[in-house]
Amino acid sequence: MSFDFDLFVIGAGSGGVRAARMSAAQGAKVAVADDKALGGTCVNVGCVPKKLYTYASHFGHDFVDAKGFGWQLEQQPEFDWNKLVEAKKQEISRLNGIYGNMLEGADVTILKGFASIVGANTVAVNGTEYTAKNILIATGGTPFLPHNNWVEHVITSDEVFDLSEFPKRLFVVGAGYIALEFACIFKGLGAKVDVSYRGDSVLRGFDQDIRSFMDHELRKQGVDVHYQTNIDNITQTATGLLVTLDDGFEHEVDQVLVALGREPRLANLGLETLGIEQNSNHTIQVNDVFASNVPGVYALGDVVGGPELTPVALAEAMTLVDHLFGEDRRRMDYTNIATAVFTHPNIGTVGLTEQEAREEYANVDIYRSEFRPMKHTLSGSNERSLMKLIVDKDSDRVVGLHIVGEGSGEILQGFAVAMICGATKAQFDQTIGIHPTSAEELVTMRTPVS
């Protein structure tokens, strides 16, 4: 049987675009369809704009810190939200164009519109049906919203970058990494920020030391965190939104940002048409080459339930391309995937948490250092940094590394390589530190903590 395409990719995000380009480079005839802008969540409403806004927010802290180094600001700097939004739009538009040029340069057919599976090896876009030997679902995720009446008054991370007015009073619902990143962004830009979370600590799933440390740093910079609370109601007022928590707390704000996680974007895709199996969390079940239970249908990225990170989707795409059009030797290894959280200060983490390590290994050593960064000895800021190593004592291998401090993501990348190579604590100790840096602390800690 002949097909219109060897591979039809539904979704033009990071994973979908990489799979399309690399498959075409192997000689496959490829199409990619999406009803949204090229680049997916990361480029348009995720990593890229978030990092740009993070840079913007740091200037708020830097203007204050500069005084300790002799800089005299004659007048208070003014922040123009609309200029930032417009600059962001121009950059995203540039990146959208780059993605389009890359796909066109690889001879990938780009179809603008919502794609759905309408039959075996068949996809429909804008009323036209296309056949493909292989179909890849890479539609990414979308912000989760609870089924409450008050959600009509809230925004999500999809809308927060393009608000017509800067919210001087922001209420954030949730305390995961997305929630805290936006809390820190808007605090740095000058907003009054509150965070509400039903649990008893921020950043569920992270190392407990990181969670406790970040709670203190948030409070020190003026972010008010309300634990073990849920939204009872949100009502419109003449001057904003009145948020009422179930403990009786009331607070009027300009915007309410809900950041309670994300869910796979699979609605109306036609999974039921072929009986594509899903997990209990609604992600698509796949094997180690990202094949679903239906022959010829594959899925990767956020829709399969792994780490929701752009580099993970890219790596998964390369595994799939090798399976379909290469030597079929690549397989994903999800251990020691490093990640950064762009809060203020930044967080970097790779490997196991202390709790995970104690469950997996019989003997664990913990190395921990908390200190005031050299920069802040003059800036006057009370911001502190945390470095933590987790070591399997029997093998001496470093199995967890966690950082809170400026530039954590940049610091972490090289140490992640070392951990992938199985670095031991003795090898960390043999490494000469770069002085004076915060990173040198990771190779100078000698005595385990109790």
For residues 63 and 69, what is the distance between their CA atoms, to the nearest angstrom?
A: 11
Angle between helices 14-25 and 81-105 (to 10 degrees): 20
For residue 164, the one-letter residue type is S
Distance of CA 3 to the CA centre of its chain: 37
For residues 198 and 260, what is the distance between their CA atoms, to the nearest angstrom?
A: 10
Give me the catalytic one of 61, 153, 282, 435.
435
Among positive and negative, which fits the CA dihedral 195, 198, 202, 204? negative
Q: Tokens at residue 241, please?
A: 């939104």
User: Active-site residue 435, yes or no?
Assistant: yes
Bond from prior residue into 345 cis (ω within 30 degrees of 0): yes
Could you write out the three-class secondary structure of 117-167?
A: EEECCEEEECCEEEEEEEEEECCCEEECCCCCHHHHHCECCCCHHHCCCCC
With contact defined as beta carbons under 8 Å apart, do 302 and 264 qualify?
yes
3-state helix, strand, coil in the chain (%, to 5): 35, 25, 40
Q: How far is CA 139 from CA 4, 16, 70, 115, 142, in A?
A: 21, 8, 51, 10, 9
Angle between helices 81-105 and 47-66 (to 10 degrees): 140
**Token pair 């594959």 is at which residue?**
298
Among positive and negative, which fits the CA dihedral 412, 417, 421, 425? negative
Q: What's the angle, vertex CA 337, arms to CA 334 and CA 343, rounded to 5?
A: 140
Strands 297-299 vs 128-137: parallel, antiparallel or unpaired: parallel
> Of the candidates 116, 80, 78, 102, which has an alpha carbon nearest to the alpha carbon of residue 297?
116
Quickly count: other Cβ atoms within 10 Å of residue 368's Cβ. 16
For residues 388 and 411, what is the distance between their CA atoms, to the nearest angstrom?
A: 13
Q: What's the angle, vertex CA 203, arms to CA 202 and CA 206, rounded to 5?
A: 130
- So which residues are the catalytic ones? 435
